[in-house]
Amino acid sequence: MALVWEQVVVDAADPVALGRWWAAALGWVVVNDAPDEYEIRPAPDRLPGLLFTPVPEGKKVKNRLHPDFRPEDQAAEVSRLLSLGARRADVGQGEQSWVVLADPEGNEFCVLSGRRPA
């Protein structure tokens, strides 16, 4: 038996706005723009995707699961994401080589140092 990773579901106060933000941040495409199931993917036929669904309650505590991204240029990527509306986040990480950011609804993610040598 094999499992296929279809998507990660993200609870959101505004699924469309948050989905659009992540599509811009990742350079992904929208495959479903319904307000109750807004989905983005790397390409229309590529998985996994991110599926944004509405919830009435706001985020209250640190994420239990968060993505890590490794760009070629950490400083440039952090600057780009901040210009899109991300904000710096403190989850108790202290001084580290990665930068913790949060999306417009407060979901944390990390931007790691530059790519590892091959």
d(CA 108, CA 88): 9
Sorting pLDDT into bands at 50, 70 and 90, what band is 98? confident
Residue written as token pair 């941040």: 25
d(CA 107, CA 87): 10
Average pLDDT over residues 58-84: 91
Q: For the chain, what is the mean pLDDT?
A: 92
Amino acid at 102: A
91 pLDDT exceeds 80? no
15 pLDDT exceeds 80? yes
State the number of CA atoms in the 13 A half-sphere of 24 facing the CB: 14
- Domains of the chain (ranges; CATH) run 1-56 (3.10.180.10), 65-118 (3.10.180.10)
95 pLDDT exceeds 90? no
Q: Residue 118's pLDDT is what?
A: 57
User: Does the pTM of the predicted model rise above 0.95?
Assistant: no
> Which of these ranges, 4-18, 46-60, 85-99, has the smallest mean pLDDT?
85-99
Residues with Cβ within 8 Å of residue 11, at least 6 apart in sequence = 53, 54, 55, 59
**Nearest alpha carbon to residue 101 among 79, 116, 117, 118:** 79
